Structure 1
C-alpha cells in the first residue's frame, strides 16, 4: 500500500473517531451553527441580506452609532473581519461611517435610511424563523441553550 495513506493504528482505534463524532462539542456546535446560518440565510435572502449582515445591521440600531471596537465583542469578530463585512453594506448604502463628535479621529457606524428600512422589513421574517427554531428546542428551551453557551469561555 502507498505511504500516502495511513493504515489504522491500534493506538488510534476507530472507537476514538466515534467518540469524537458523538462527544465533541465543537463539532456539534459548528454543525448546528452552519445549519442555522443556512436557514436564516434562506429566510433573509428575499430581503437582500445574509444572517451575518442582518446581525451587523441590528448591532448598529442604537441611538448613537457604535465604533468598530464596540462591535468586536458583541459580534465575536475580529476587527479585520468586521471591517471586511461592513464594506459591502457601505457600498450598498445601508451603512455609513461618520466622525465621532467627541473625538474627530474616531469614526462611528450608523444605519442609513435604506439600512433601517431593510432591517425593519427583514425583522418579521427573522422572528418567524426564530420562533420555529425555538419551538424545536427542548430540555431548557432556547433560554437554557443560550445560558449554557454563554458559560463556555
Structure 2
C-alpha cells in the first residue's frame, strides 16, 4: 500500500471485517439451536433442494469441498443430514434431511428470525436489503 493509503481503503478488509461482525451476530443466535451459521445455511439449502449433491452445494455456497465436508460431519453425526447413493453403484452421494433434520431446521429458523431482526434494527431495513442484493450479485459476476 502507498504511504497515504489506509487499511480502511481496502475493499477486502472492509468486507471481511463486516462479515466477521455479522457472522458473530448470527452465531450468537444459532448457538441457542446448537448449530453454526454455516450449518444453518447447509440445512436450508438441502431442505429447499430436497436432495442435493456435494458439488451442487459447494458451488452454491462458494465453498471448498473439504470445508463443506467438515461442516457436514457434525450434521451427519447428529442425524440432521443423511447421505445416500444417487443410484445403484453410483459413487455420487445425495444429501437429504430426515425428520430430525427438519425439526432442527425449524428450531434454527426461529433463531434466524431473531438474528435477522437484530441485524435490520442495526442497519435499517432498506440498507439491509440493498446490501444483501449487492453482495449476492458479486459471485455471479453481475455486481457491475
Query: What interval of TM-score do these two structures reach, taking the shorter chain for normalisation?
Result: 0.7 to 0.9
Q: Which residue in 1 is equivalent to 2:114?
A: 128
Looking at structure 1, the residues matched to 38 and 19 of structure 2 have their Cα atoms a distance apart, in angstroms, of 12
Tell me what 1:105 maps to. 91
CA deviation after TM superposition for structure 1 residue 83, in Å: 1.4
How well do the aligned residues superpose, as a CA RMSD in angstroms?
2.2
- 1:1-153 equivalences under 5 Å are 12-13=2-3, 15-16=4-5, 18=6, 21-62=7-48, 64-101=50-87, 104-137=90-123, 140-152=126-138, 153=141
The higher radius of gyration belongs to: 1
The answer to whether the 8 Å contact 2:33/2:111 transfers is no
Q: How many residues align?
A: 139
Mark the runs of 5 or more structure 1 residues left unpaired by the alignment: 1-10
- Residue by residue over 1:68-121, the C-alpha shift from the partner in whole angstroms, topping out at 9 and shown as x without a partner, is 011112111011211121111111111110121487332100112211111101
Give me the whole-angstrom Cα distance separating, in 1, the residues matched to 2:81 and 2:8.
42
TM-score by length of 2: 0.84
Quick one: structure 1 residues 31 and 111, their matched pair in 2 at CA, closer, same or farther if it must change by over 3 Å? same
Which protein has greater RCO, CA pairs closer than 8 Å, 6+ apart? 2
5+ residue gaps in structure 2?
Answer: none
Retained in 1: the 8 A contact 2:32–2:111? no
- Distance in 1 (CA, whole Å) between partners of 2:76 and 2:17 is 30
- Structure 1 length normalisation: TM-score? 0.80
